[in-house]
């Protein structure tokens, strides 16, 4: 499973800057205050949910199959068991911004808003969403990654309003229907 970026990992922090003045931080999780520790504990519970999912499902499960339809053509298991992937911390408190995936496809961040204001199931769904980006689900404003939350059993956490690259959504829906 992925590693949580805490000081002990030595992974450090980084920022990715984009056109138009957008910056996203991929930081080490702070562990100083009680709030920091509570946040980390909540994240660990969410990671455990996804870990249980990975152990429970076989390669023919819709989750693994759906990930196989994404551009890098590997099942969910392939990415989840890659121990070089890190879950980082974004201090963003923007309502509605859950997290992002770094262009190296080795780091994802979860926002402070996501962890502090949502339950462990929604955080777990966000982790699966970001793994879909690592699996090749398009960036920009793609819906394909959000579809992964639905396909991996997070139906109540799946949000059909998260959308973007409609061509790709159409293609994935066609593949799923086939």
- Contacts with other proteins, residue ranges (CB under 8 A): 18-22, 24, 94-101, 103, 126, 129-130, 133, 137-143, 145-146, 159-171, 174
**Shortest Å distance, C-beta 32 to other proteins:** 27
Distance between CA 58 and CA 49 in Å, rounded? 16
Instruction: Indicate the residue among 5 and 90 with the shorter CB distance to other proteins.
Output: 90
Partner residues linked to 17 by β-bridges: 23
| Pairing mode, strands 22-26 and 14-18 | antiparallel
Instruction: Indicate the residue among 40 and 163 with the shorter CB distance to other proteins.
Output: 163
Among the listed residues 30, 43, 26, the one whose alpha carbon sits nearest the alpha carbon of residue 116: 43
3-state secondary structure of 25: strand
What are the CB-based long-range contacts (under 8 Å, 24+) for 15-21? 16/102, 16/103
**Shortest Å distance, C-beta 53 to other proteins:** 17
Instruction: Indicate the residue among 7 and 141 with the shorter CB distance to other proteins.
Output: 141
CA 98 to chain centre: 9
Among the listed residues 178, 177, 171, 174, the one whose alpha carbon sits nearest the alpha carbon of residue 71: 171
Among the listed residues 29, 27, 47, 26, the one whose alpha carbon sits nearest the alpha carbon of residue 38: 29
Instruction: Indicate the residue among 56 and 165 with the shorter CB distance to other proteins.
Output: 165
Instruction: Indicate the residue among 56 and 117 with the shorter CB distance to other proteins.
Output: 117
**Shortest Å distance, C-beta 8 to other proteins:** 27
**Shortest Å distance, C-beta 34 to other proteins:** 27
**Shortest Å distance, C-beta 139 to other proteins:** 4
């Amino acid at each position: 499973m992925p590693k949580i970026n805490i000081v002990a990992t030595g992974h450090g922090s980084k920022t990715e800057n984009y056109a138009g003045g957008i910056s996203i931080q991929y930081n080490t999780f702070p562990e100083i205050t009680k709030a920091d520790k509570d946040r980390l504990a909540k994240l660990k519970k969410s990671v455990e949910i996804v870990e249980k999912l990975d152990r429970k499902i076989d390669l023919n499960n819709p989750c693994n199959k759906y990930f196989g339809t994404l551009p890098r053509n590997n099942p969910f298991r392939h990415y989840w068991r890659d121990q070089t992937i890190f879950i980082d911390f974004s201090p963003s408190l923007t309502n509605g911004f859950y997290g992002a995936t770094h262009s190296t496809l080795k780091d994802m961040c979860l926002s402070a808003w996501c962890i502090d204001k949502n339950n462990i199931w929604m955080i777990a769904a966000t982790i699966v969403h970001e793994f879909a980006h690592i699996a090749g689900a398009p960036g920009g404003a793609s819906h394909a990654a959000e579809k992964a939350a639905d396909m991996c059993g997070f139906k109540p956490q799946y949000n059909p309003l998260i959308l973007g690259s409609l061509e790709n959504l159409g293609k994935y829906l066609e593949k799923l229907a086939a």
